[in-house]
Structure 1
Amino acid sequence: MIHVLAFITAHPGKRTQLLELFQAVVPTVREEHGCIEYGVVVDVPGADPAFGPDTYVVVEKWENLEALKAHSVAPHMKSFGAAAGALIAKRAVHVLQPA
C-alpha cells in the first residue's frame, strides 16, 4: 500500500476557493482503480501546532505505485491542476509506505 500526504498552501485568502475545486474532483478520484482513500484535512481550531489558514493536507492511500502514477496523469487531475495552479503558493508531496 502507498500512502501520500500532500501539504498544499494556497495564496493568502484563496484556500476556500482552492478547496472548492479540490472537493469537486474527490468523487471522481475515489472511483479510480487502486484508490483506497482520498480526502482532505485542515487544522482543528485551537490545536497546536497549526499549519495555518491557507494550508490543507490531502491524505491518500493507493493499492500500489502504479495506481498512484495513473492518478497523477488522469485527465481530471490535469484539469484540476490547470484550474488550481494559480491559487497554489507551494506544495510538498510525500509518497510513503508502511515500515
Structure 2
Amino acid sequence: MIILLGSVVVQPGRMADALALAQAHVARSRLEPGCLEHGVHRDSERDDRLVFIERWADLAALQQHFQVPASNHFVRDISALAAERPAISIHQSTELPWPGQTPR
C-alpha cells in the first residue's frame, strides 16, 4: 500500500476557496481505481493549514492518479492559493492489524 501525506498553508482570506477546491479533488479522486482513502483535513493546531491523507493500493495507481488532468489542475490551483510551498511525501506501507485483532 502507498500512503501520501500532503499539506498546504493557505493565504489569509482564501481558506473557503482552498477547501472548495480540495473537497472537489477528494471526491473525484475517491472514484479512481486503486484509491483506498482520500481525505482533506484542517490542522487543529494551525487554522490556515490543510492536510491531505491518501491511501493507494499500489504505486501504479498513485502514478495514474498523477496523470489525470484534473489532478494536475488541482495542484496548479491549490498552489496559487498557498502562502508557502505545499509539502508532499509518499510512503510504502504494510498494513498491520490493531493489537488483539486478527490480520485481514
TM-score using structure 1 length: 0.82
Q: Which runs of 5+ in 2 are unaligned?
A: 95-104
* Contact map agreement 2:4 2:54 (CA 8 A) in 1: yes
Across the aligned residues of Structure 1 and Structure 2, the Cα RMSD in angstroms comes to 1.5
Instruction: Give a deviation string over 1:29-56, Cα, whole Å, max 9, x none.
Output: 1011110000011133xxxxx2x12101
Q: Partner letter of residue 9 of structure 2? A: T
How many Å separate the matches in 2 of 1:41 and 1:80?
16
Tell whether 2:92 aligns with 1:97.
yes
Alignment coverage as a number of residue pairs:
93
Q: Which runs of 5+ in 1 are unaligned?
A: 45-49
* Contact map agreement 1:14 1:54 (CA 8 A) in 2: no
SS of the residue corresponding to residue 41 of structure 1 reads strand
* Contact map agreement 1:12 1:54 (CA 8 A) in 2: yes
Tell me the residue number matched to 1:47. Answer: none
Q: CA deviation at 1:93?
A: 0.5
Tell me the residue number matched to 2:63. Answer: 69
Structure whose residues are more often strand by fraction:
1
Q: Partner letter of residue 30 of structure 1? A: R
Higher Rg: 2
How many Å separate the matches in 2 of 1:81 and 1:98?
24
How many Å separate the matches in 2 of 1:60 and 1:8?
15
Tell me the residue number matched to 1:55. Answer: 49
TM-score using structure 2 length: 0.79
Identical counterparts, % of pairs: 35
**Structure with bigger RCO (C-alpha 8 Å, 6+ apart):** 1
SS of the residue corresponding to residue 58 of structure 1 reads strand
